[in-house]
Amino acid sequence: MYSDLKDKVVLITGASKGIGRGIAQRFADEGVKLVLNYSSDAQSATETLKAIQEKGIDCVMLKADVSSPAAITELFDKAIQQYGKIDVVIANAGIELVHKSVLESTEADFDKVFNLNVKGTFFVMKNAARCLPDGGKLIVISSTMSIHPEFGAAIYASSKAASKLFVEVLAKELGPRQISVNTIMPGIIDNAGVIKDYPAEAKKTVIEGSPFRRLGTVEDVANVVVFLASKEGAYIHGHHLSVNGGSMF
């Protein structure tokens, strides 16, 4: 437990399932107030909200299209109307990987991925810079795909690489306000993101490429996120932390 997190207000985009949901559940264990965002999966959003409220946590779930700058601004404004402040922002919303070679990729594929993973992340970060108090925390969820891209991942991997550069620049801009800005780069995480539709043989290959001989879990990622959000991680700034168990993937 990190005592300094109790009653902090944490905003998490893309929080209805997968890694975002895992992060929200882990923050709930710290007694924070949560502003969770979802885009389209109302059922998963309802299930996540119920599970967290059953822990006695003050939590709201807000629908917003995080590829829309206007919707992002409205999301942040609603969060402040609800709780009066935002202390921690987790920019997690992103589109899942679709494997297509460069020759197979279309303009529609490019726009779909970049609108959410690049434009959406940028404007979440911009609003975080606008709304966070001095000493706040901004954490962007990227992917090890940005440093170890695989066949068919040109659009996705480059979109995740963009967010890393946003972090490096914003770390310089927000440093004087003691706002820490960092990236978490998960590897292949079981039952979340790019791994959920992997065939058994592909999962086996990933496991064999890991020194731990296992896939990562959402809890592995969430534990690092919460550490960075606490005072214990306050001097980690402008970094990209791989959470992949030393895997080659």
Which pair of structure tokens corresponds to residue 186?
């998960």
Indicate which residue of 16, 67, 142, 242 is catalytic. 142
Q: Is 160 a catalytic residue?
A: yes
* Closest to 10 in 3D by CA, of 123, 93, 87, 121: 87
DSSP state of 64: -
Indicate which residue of 16, 39, 67, 143 is catalytic. 143
Please count the residues of the chain. Answer: 249
- Produce one character per residue of 225-242: b if its CB has 16 or more CB atoms within 10 Å, e if not: bbebbbeebeeebbebbb
Indicate which residue of 67, 146, 160, 230 is catalytic. 160
Instruction: Please report, for residues 107, 135, 154, 156, 196, the alpha-carbon distance to residue 86 in angstroms, rounded to integers and kept in the order given.
Output: 36, 11, 34, 29, 32
143-145-147 Cα angle (round to 5): 100
How far is Cα 220 from Cα 244, in angstroms, rounded to an integer? 9
Asked if 8 contacts 87 with a C-beta cutoff of 8 angstroms, the reply is yes
Q: Is 143 a catalytic residue?
A: yes
Indicate which residue of 38, 156, 210, 247 is catalytic. 156
* Catalytic machinery residues: 142-143, 156, 160
